[in-house]
Amino acid sequence: MRVPWPFRRESPQGAGPRREFAEALDPQPPLYRSPTLKALVSRLSSETSYHILDLGVASGANVEFFSRFSGQLQIADLPDALASEELRSLLRTDPAAAFRRLLPVAWKQFDIVLAWDVLNYLSRDQFRCLATHVTSLCQPGALMFALVSTQKEMSGVPQVFKIVDEQTLLLQPRTTAVQLSPRFPPAEVERLMSGFSVVQSVVMRHGVREYLLVRH
Amino acid sequence: MAAERPGERAIIGPSITIKGDVTGEEDLLIQGRVEGKVDLAQHNVTVGANGRIKANIFGRSVTVEGEVDGDLHAEEQIAIRKSGRVRGNVSAPRVTIEDGAMFKGSIEMERKAAPRPVVGSAGAAAASPPPPVAGAPGSTVPPRPGEPKHPERSG
């Protein structure tokens, strides 16, 4: 049976990252099933404590969800920083310095990074600098969850993603404005995230590619 | 010391600015400005919508509706309401953040008796071996220096 585009399985090339179908709960956001979140959670143990870096906006639902594990959740709220003209200016002129200032001190060795859709709002230089800085903050084996837009347009500001359960996300737009999406192709994401390898990559029905990456 | 009267609490009004430590034996509502330390470890501290705090706050429970630049510690609960803005670290058995609240900092998480996430029994994601997660059982990645990753198993 010919499968329509949103559910088309991509043929794995060689030993590349595994790809799966995306199963949406609803044809449109805000509520959708996230196989990559499920894959991330399935790799966690309630017997282990984790240090988690959340690059997105604080969400009570996500705090509640991760409170089933012990450890520490660090919320960086990069969307708030991206809204600041001073920091936007610094990001343009010296992105490495900007991320050193924005993100936690280097001794924090995180086990999990939740990037959500923040990467879509960075230039390639900024993306590379953030990836380099985050790599230095993570333990080898650390996992990163990221969402990269594949559509021409995307929300004008990073959105809020609330974890409903271990495989369901609620997308909470913060504006009706849209802007052009950089549409980072998978090969470029892998190149920019040089400290990480793609474990899983899934195209979702609503034009987002989910990534689960692991720190080398 | 005067007996505490249920339902009553002290108020720091919106026109008041305190530079220094605040201690006491009763619940407190802060609508003004405080720069220093707020230490009411056995009582409830509320930073009202007009409150502007540059201080660490210690309370039995801490509720933030205004702005706090400092760390929050509570014996029972910390709640950041939708109008609240907090930059700092929080530590409490229960932390709630309402939609619309701004929080930037770290949250110390104590494990709750929540149901374990159901790991999918079908599908490649569940079937493939997990990558080494730092500090996880079987991981070759050592815990952070000085930080036991498995305190519950250390004894």
Write down the pLDDT at residue B111: 65
Pick from B63, B106, B110 the residue to mutate for testing the A interface (most A CBs within 10 Å): B106
Nearest Cα of chain B lies from the Cα of A175 at a distance, in angstroms, of: 13
Mutate which: A42, A44, A74, vs B, most B CBs within 10 A: A42
Q: CATH homologous superfamily for A19-215?
A: Vaccinia Virus protein VP39 (3.40.50.150)
- A153's enclosing H/E stretch is strand A153-155
B23 closest CA partner among B70, B56, B66: B56
Task: Kindly identify which residue of chain B lies nearest to residue A143, measuring between CA atoms.
Answer: B133
Digit-coded pLDDT (tens) for B2-44: 445 556 899 999 999 999 999 999 999 999 999 999 999 999 9
- With pLDDT > 70 as the criterion, what percentage of chain A qualifies? 84
Query: Identity (one letter) of the amino acid at A205?
Result: R
Size of interface A-B (CB pairs under 8 A): 138
What is the predicted pLDDT for the residue at B53?
Answer: 98
Q: What is the distance in angstroms between the Cα of B6 and the nearest Cα belonging to chain A?
A: 30
**SS3 track for B95-140:** EEECCCCEEEEEEEECCCCCCCCCCCCCCHHHHCCCCCCCCCCCCC
Q: Are A74 and A56 in contact (CB under 8 A)?
A: no
Higher-pLDDT residue of A18, B135: A18
Mean pLDDT of B48-54: 98
Give the domain ranges of chain A: 19-215
The band of A124, judged by pLDDT with boundaries at 50, 70 and 90, is: very high
Average pLDDT of chain A is 86
A35·B123 Cβ contact <8 A? yes
| Chain B neighbors of A172, CB-CB under 8 A | 99
pLDDT of residue A205: 83
Distance (Å) from the alpha carbon of A209 to chain B's nearest alpha carbon: 16
List pLDDT tens digits, range B97-107.
999 999 999 99
Give dist(CA B151, CA B155) in Å, integer: 7
**pLDDT tens digits, residue range A147-171?**
999 999 999 999 999 999 999 999 9
Interval A125-141: pLDDT, tens: 999 999 999 999 999 99
Q: What's the pLDDT tens digit per position in A52-94?
A: 999 999 999 999 999 988 899 999 999 998 889 999 999 999 9
* pLDDT in the model for residue A165: 95
Q: Which of A64-68, A100-104, B144-148 has the least mean pLDDT?
A: B144-148
Tell me which residue has tokens 């009553």: B8
Query: For A187-212, what is the mean pLDDT?
Result: 95
Interface contact flag, B114 A38, Cβ < 8 Å: no
Would you place residue A200 in the very low, low, confident or very high pLDDT band (cuts 50, 70, 90)?
very high
Helix (H) or strand (E) holding B12: strand B10-12
Tell me which residue in B104, B107, B152 faces A72 most closely, judged by beta carbons: B107
Domain ranges for chain B, please list them: 10-103
Higher pLDDT, A23 or A96: A96
Please tell me the predicted confidence (pLDDT) of residue A206. Answer: 83
Kindly tell me if the per-residue pLDDT of B124 is higher than 70.
Answer: no
- The yes-or-no verdict on residue A10 having pLDDT over 50 is no
